[in-house]
Structure 1
Amino acid sequence: MAQPLSAADVVTALRAEGVTVVQVGSWRTHNRNSKGAWGPLNGSIVHHTVTKGTASTVAMVRDGYTSLPGPLCHGMIAKDGRVHMVGWGRTNHAGGGDPAVLAQVVAESYGTRPTPPTRGNLNGVDGNSHFYGWECENLGDGKDPWPAAQYDAIVRVQAALCRAHGWSAKSVIGHLEWSNDKVDPRGFTMPDLRADVAERLTHPASWTPSSTPSKEDNAMATTPDAVWKADVIPAAAPPYNNSDFAKNKTWTASYALGSAVLTGRRIEAKVDALAKAVAALTALLKKG
């Protein structure tokens, strides 16, 4: 548990960690503090945006939309690795989540991942008061690549916060680990990300690895997190419970694509399992 870093201190921490910071307008005073508390803080949550295009994504996470005003995060990590700071204070990024997960993050007491959440945005505890939030530019379909520069920036941002507060990498979670109606981030696993953050924390903030990890080849079909969530998430749940979601053709198409891919892979897996069962039964009958 810690008091939030000041805007000046977080910029210093990020730059010390080698992050390229882009300051967007009056981000230092852009927040939702009038709606509730921000802090003490217990950790940091990683999200994906379900969008394409850095400029439009920055505008969206800064301004929000009709049913969910911005800022929707503290910073947006773009494909090129630049971190666009859009707000500081309480932001609309985490929503409701599982109090049991919060307790595990506070104590940093879990194994490779917290227990799967049993509460979500509508019936969970307020996460906006407890976590930093970082949106990452990605379609969230499990196919959109995570370039090396972007993934490296995600690791550096989380390491910077952990280093500043004296946290371990277990203070970093994904939105899907916080809320049972969320699926982000897709395309890499949170245990892998935490391992990379933990490795970074064993070095000085100025450290640059000899080879930068890339998640460009990771797909949802081979992601353990996708398997873990497969039976507990809805096939198509629009992010942030946004009633205006369907009005935006870009967001709707992007999310529909991701949902269709996920649904198709689930059907394919069930068909394969059925085929194997039929083959096994056929073989058994032949023996009889």
Structure 2
Amino acid sequence: MATPLSPDAFLSILRSEGVKTSEYAGWRGRERDAATGKAFGPVHMVVNHHTAGKNSRDTVAKTGVPGLPAPLAHIHLAKSGVATMCSAGRANHAGLMAQNSYRSFLNETATHPDPSKASGTVDGNDCAYGIETENLGDGKDVYPHAQYDAWVRINTAFCRHYGWSAESVAGHLETSVEGKVDPRGPVEGYGDRGRFTFSMGQFRRDVAERLKHSASWAPGAERTYVVVKGDTLWSVAVHELGDGARYAEIKTLNSLKSDALSVGQKLTLPKK
């Protein structure tokens, strides 16, 4: 049973993953549990959104919109990459999810079907964390590098804490029975990757890659070396890094049980 995080634990997992956080006044006690009579949890997934507006932090955290009281997500993610804590309880973000898509995230399947209302519905606000990422959602407004990096880190923090795979990470467009299109738009870049178009498939791959590393890892901080004839682990360390003392780091990065190398073998090396 995946119990919702306490406010302190929530902050802790994000900060451990390298996320810059800010606490909106009153966020620890702001939720929709009491008003709806429905408790938040158990939690099974994360649903990602774009705000479809500018300067949306107050709307997400406190004021809400007509017919939909705040909080509208658990986290508001600014262009700067700062995550503002908006709620640790039930939030109005996911709405009704299609049963077929919900089950695919619950079971962490490799593919996720288009949401079908005919399959039945689930109240996503019961069981999903929500992130509102600042973006107009017009297909032109760019997600800056810092914002996308923080977005990946936030989703990874949830997955790492609960032992989920990246297949527990959803976009609103993948769950909603109301035809939602978020999140979408161009991304400035990530790690060594230049500009690209946001997609949930790529986003999950980026979360999955981050989960392979420690929470202190930064994308683009490593490179690949292909072993050639005559290489030893020590010679690679000295030649590529100029420091034989980093031999142990290369061995650890590649989970090598011995120093034996084969021609064509790929090694992960730290950046120089």
TM-score (norm 1): 0.69
| Matching residue of 1:271 | none
CA distance in 2 between partners of 1:210 and 1:100 (Å): 36
| Matching residue of 1:215 | none
2:32 matches 1:32: yes
In the TM superposition, residue 210 of structure 1 has moved relative to its aligned partner by 2.3
| Matching residue of 1:9 | 9
| CA 211–77 in structure 1, closer or farther in 2 if over 3 Å, else same | farther
* Residue type at the aligned position of 1:168: S
CA distance in 2 between partners of 1:6 and 1:175 (Å): 24
Q: Which runs of 5+ in 2 are unaligned?
A: 186-197, 223-272
Three-state SS of the structure 2 residue aligned to 1:25 is coil
CA distance in 1 between partners of 2:72 and 2:130 (Å): 8
Three-state SS of the structure 1 residue aligned to 2:47 is strand
Identity %: 47
Please report the RMSD computed on the Cα atoms of aligned residues, expressed in angstroms.
1.5
| CA 202–71 in structure 1, closer or farther in 2 if over 3 Å, else same | same
In the TM superposition, residue 211 of structure 1 has moved relative to its aligned partner by 6.3
| Matching residue of 1:59 | 58
Contact between 2:21 and 2:84, CA under 8 Å: does it hold in 1?
yes
CA distance in 2 between partners of 1:76 and 1:68 (Å): 16
CA distance in 2 between partners of 1:205 and 1:150 (Å): 17
| Matching residue of 2:214 | 204
CA distance in 1 between partners of 2:221 and 2:10 (Å): 26
| Matching residue of 1:170 | 167
1:242-253 equivalences in 2 (<5 Å): none
1:100-249 equivalences in 2 (<5 Å): 100-111=100-111, 114-119=112-117, 124-180=121-177, 181-187=179-185, 188-210=198-220
CA distance in 2 between partners of 1:110 and 1:200 (Å): 18
> Larger relative contact order (C-alpha < 8 A, sep ≥ 6)?
1
Higher strand share: 2
Deviations 1:79-102 (A, max 9, x none): 000001111100000000111111
| Matching residue of 1:83 | 83
* Residue type at the aligned position of 2:44: N
Contact between 2:10 and 2:88, CA under 8 Å: does it hold in 1?
no
CA distance in 2 between partners of 1:174 and 1:66 (Å): 23
Higher helix share: 1
Deviation above 6 Å: which 4+ runs of structure 1? none
Q: Which runs of 5+ in 1 are unaligned?
A: 213-288
Contact between 2:40 and 2:125, CA under 8 Å: does it hold in 1?
yes
| Matching residue of 2:231 | none
Rg larger in structure: 2
Contact between 1:96 and 1:119, CA under 8 Å: does it hold in 2?
no
How many equivalent residue pairs?
205
CA distance in 2 between partners of 1:185 and 1:9 (Å): 27
* Residue type at the aligned position of 2:106: V
TM-score (norm 2): 0.73
CA distance in 2 between partners of 1:179 and 1:200 (Å): 27
CA distance in 2 between partners of 1:37 and 1:12 (Å): 23
Deviations 1:256-288 (A, max 9, x none): xxxxxxxxxxxxxxxxxxxxxxxxxxxxxxxxx
Deviations 1:143-188 (A, max 9, x none): 1001000000100000000000000000000000001321100121
* Residue type at the aligned position of 2:92: N
